[in-house]
Amino acid sequence: MVGLTNAVVVVAVVALVLVRQFRARPINTDRRWWLLPVILGVIALREPSLLDVHHRAESAALLAVELLIGLAMGAGWAWTTRVWTEPDGVVWTKSTKASAAVWIAGIALRIGVYGLGAALGLHQHSSALMLGFAGSLLVRGGILTWRARTLFAPATLSTPPLGASPRFTTAYGDGSRPAEKERA
Euclidean distance between CA atoms 33 and 20, whole angstroms: 14
**Which amino acid, 161?**
P
15: left (phi over 0), alpha (psi -120 to 50) or beta: alpha
152: which residues sit within 8 A by CB, 6+ positions away?
85, 89, 160, 161, 164, 167
Per-residue pLDDT of the chain (184 residues; tens, 9 = 90+): 566 776 777 778 778 877 887 888 888 777 788 998 999 899 989 888 788 888 888 889 999 999 999 999 999 999 999 999 888 888 899 999 999 999 999 999 999 999 999 998 888 888 888 899 999 999 999 999 999 888 765 444 444 544 455 555 555 555 544 444 444 4
pTM value surpassing 0.85: no
In eight-state DSSP terms, residue 154 is T
Sign of the C-alpha dihedral computed for residues 180, 174, 171 and 67 taken in this order:
positive
| Pick from 178, 6, 157: nearest CA to 89 | 157
Which residues on neighbouring strands pair with residue 97, listed in sequence order?
none
In angstroms, the CA 180 to CA 86 distance is 8
CA angle 172, 133, 91 (to 5 degrees): 45
